[in-house]
Amino acid sequence: MAQLYFYYSAMNAGKSTSLLQSSYNYQERGMNTFVLTAAIDDRAGYGKVASRIGIECDAYAFTVQDDLSQIIEKQHQQTAQHCILIDEAQFLTKEQVKQLTYVVDCLEIPVLCYGIKTDFQGELFPGSQYLLAWADKLIELKTICHCGRKANMVLRLDSNGQPVKEGKQVEIGGNDSYESVCRKHFRPYFWD
């Protein structure tokens, strides 16, 4: 039975590595996977999923205007798909998460989504919000704060490495722009 999975975490927990490993596992057994990633995040190159440990693959780059159920159904008709894998799932829209439930329920293809749960202000991303609400399975991938506790929050940093309190929800960046921290080390910037 196909299910919708949401693998979530703070930054630098190995989400892309886990996605790439899952895709490889399917392919090693002769099964087809269809990998998608958000077009807005082109740090590894447009239409690429890349891990910090140096592995990568090509992916379909989706935008917020795309109907993912149509794109996946067309791909499935061309080559039967055994699994759909989505990186940067926090950038999905509510409607796109609904479309993924169609892929699982009606096309009976498992969908594995990987993304960040909350933004730099501790607020849910839209894609994450609806995946948390509608996914069949929720799996937290863990990373650690500089203090050794589990990091479940993300700080956005300015050019001097200081936390930023305001700004757009989406600003693409890596380790130079963000730091994963525990709630205790997030609290002084937003809640105290």
Indicate which residues carry an active-site annotation: 88
Q: Cα separation of 60 and 48, whole Å?
A: 8
* DSSP secondary structure of 117-167: SB-TTSPBPHHHHHHHHH-SEEEE--EE-TTSSEE-EEEEB-TTSPBP--S
E strand intervals along 63-110: 83-87
Q: Which two tokens stand for residue 53?
A: 């440990």
Q: Which two tokens stand for residue 167?
A: 């700004």
Q: Please say whether the beta carbons of 5 and 131 come within 8 A.
A: no
Q: Cα separation of 152 and 147, whole Å?
A: 13
